[in-house]
A and B are shown apart, each in its own frame.
Chain A
């Protein structure tokens, strides 16, 4: 019973106190960073330095007219924005934000893990949920009954299937190092040296594939404005459009958190700083969570940085890169990892 209540509290904290505020911050950050990169100011009028701009944007979305075009497949059109949010939020169930804390609640000794569910198939769970992300896009594209939306949906399904493979291959090499599918074990395994130094090739593959999986530039073919008007969400308006937008940012947060967990030591604080200063346990935990957050925030910045500095790939280039470079490299990386494990 206590376990269930703790899990519910954790879900509430993660969704409402971490993800949603972070998404709002990200939308502002995207606009400000893009402005900085393009040498202009960006929105800085609402609140201090434009801090309230996301609130204004949200209100605008809420009060806009919600148009449902007459030619759409009504049922699928209405559920698509919900379906796209579902896998985006689900991945967070297994991301470890920190170590564990053993404490008394009332008179019972409880171990609080800073992770919603410590699955023993955590990595596989991520792969499974990541592969579901495509449905929202495909259903949205199909139900809109519009050529451009349809093309966007088709592109997204082809793209995401192609890049799931290298993503999985990169994860396999990480799992080979740790010998466990549990994400907490993978983090502990990187205590000596982070995976990014042991698996540089795997890291690059994972990074590129996660850009493709989140549909961010340089791989945002499903919504390429210049070619497809708006791609799969052309026919959506108001809050439904916003939920596609929201899903993209949540996916970005998920991808950043996963890169941190799998390749940058998760909540591990580098250089043995924590051991050196010898703090009380609670403070250690807080600092570890902070370390995890900082690493994740860096990758979120990286996502925005790349979006505003790199041009979009052509579709054949995208497919060539996926199948002819990433997949063979991923396989090569597995072989190299196996040789490395056998030798050392």
Chain B
């Protein structure tokens, strides 16, 4: 009972945050609403006994990526949308049909594949289990992901360096 109540609270918060991200004119508020959504999702993960995922979710998305988002928004001081409401008016004609198609697709899949699932093993989401899976069964994808990250990092460093040279 408590679990179900908590699930609905988190679900409502997540959806509310998501709507706020899209609707709000001020990008700072949009970013903060996204953080609310991320927290609500972390709550759902905890209800699924996936503590590790929940904590990493908060640490990576809310703790690092969203801080950078805020930093960039504040640094650039984006006020175009706020000053000129309706400047992105034509987006509506693409955005609404796209959203409708996505919603129908996902809804259809969820409806077709719906079945009640109980979380039987309560230690599925623990660090030990994830670590074992990551370094035995999924070791190749794991290593490939790390290479991908290194490539992205090198690329970011290179791009920022080149810009500096142009300035000089």
Interface residues of A, Cβ cutoff 8 Å to B: 76, 119-121, 124-125, 127-132, 134-135, 138-139, 142, 150, 153-154, 157-158, 160-161, 164, 181
Contacts and interface: CB of A to CB of B under 8 A. Distances in A.
B167 to A, nearest CB: 16
B152 interface: no
Interface stretch (B3-11, B52-60, B107-115, B136-144): B52-60
Contacts of A129: 58
A181 B127 CA distance: 8
Contacts of B20: none
B50 to A, nearest CB: 10
Contacts of A164: 63-64
Please classify how large the interface on chain B is, using the bins under 10, 10 to 19, 20 to 34, 35 or more: 20 to 34
A138 B67 contact: yes
A157 B58 contact: no
Contact of A121 (B29, B55, B74): B55
Interface centre among B56, B63, B64 (most CB of A within 10 A): B63
Nearest to B77: A150
Contacts of B67: 131, 134-135, 138, 157, 160-161
A121 B71 contact: no
A154 B75 contact: yes
Contact of A158 (B32, B51, B71, B126): B71
B70 A125 contact: no
Contacts of B64: 131, 161, 164
14 contacts: A76-B28, A76-B29, A120-B127, A121-B126, A124-B55, A127-B59, A128-B55, A128-B62, A128-B63, A135-B35, A153-B74, A158-B71, A161-B64, A164-B64
B59 A124 contact: yes
Considering the complex of A and B, which 9 residue pairs feature the smallest CB-CB distances, nearest first? A131-B63, A128-B59, A128-B58, A124-B55, A157-B71, A121-B55, A128-B55, A121-B51, A157-B67
Given A120-B51, A124-B52, A161-B67, A142 B58 contact: no
B52 A121 contact: yes
B58 to A, nearest CB: 4
Contacts of A121: 51-52, 55, 126-127
B145 to A, nearest CB: 18
Contacts of B59: 124, 127-128, 131
B134 interface: no
A132 B63 contact: yes
B22 interface: no
B74 A142 contact: yes
B80 interface: no
A134 B68 CA distance: 11
A125 B56 CA distance: 8
Contacts of A119: 51
Nearest to B58: A128
A131 B62 CA distance: 8
B2 to A, nearest CB: 10
Contacts of B127: 120-121, 124, 181
Contacts of A76: 28-29, 32
Contacts of A158: 71
A127 B75 CA distance: 26
A119 B126 CA distance: 10
B28 A124 contact: no
A212 to B, nearest CB: 15
Contacts of A161: 64, 67-68, 71
A22 B35 CA distance: 32
Contacts of B51: 119-121
Nearest to A128: B59
A161 B65 CA distance: 10
A258 B63 CA distance: 19
A124 B60 CA distance: 11
Interface in B22-61: 28-29, 32, 35, 51-52, 55-56, 58-59
Given A124-B52, A131-B63, A131-B64, A139 B32 contact: yes
Given A128-B63, A131-B58, A164-B63, 11 more contacts: A76-B28, A121-B51, A121-B52, A121-B126, A124-B59, A131-B62, A135-B70, A142-B28, A154-B74, A157-B70, A158-B71
A138 B71 CA distance: 8
A30 to B, nearest CB: 28
A67 B126 CA distance: 48
Nearest to A143: B28
B88 to A, nearest CB: 22
A124 B56 contact: yes
A164 B55 CA distance: 16
